[in-house]
Amino acid sequence: MKKIYEGKTKDVFELENGNVMLKFKDDCTGKDGVFDPGENSVGLTIEGIGKANLQTSIHYFELLKEAGIKLTM
């Protein structure tokens, strides 16, 4: 497994089978401890937000799949 991207809220790994794995963090963008999705730096950590972001991503990936849109790297 090779890390191919490290972001503020998730890391992306390339798997040996050609797929990618997203690892969501509990870090959030914000400023001075206040959540702000428009900020460009990590401002706080909220326990469980990584899991919520994963569930949101799954939802949108399923919509793309249902629409017949294939994702490639």
**Is the pTM here over 0.85, yes or no?**
no
For residue 73, the model assigns a pLDDT of 64
CA distance 63 to 45: 29
Amino acid code (one letter) for 49 = I
Helix, strand, coil percent content, the chain, rounded in steps of 5: 25, 35, 40
Write down the residue that tokens 């050609």 correspond to.
18
Closest by CA to 10, choosing from 19, 21, 18, is 21
CA distance 25 to 50: 5
Which residues on adjacent β-strands are paired with residue 27?
45
**What are the pLDDT digits (tens) for 6-48?**
999 999 999 999 899 999 999 999 988 898 988 999 999 999 9
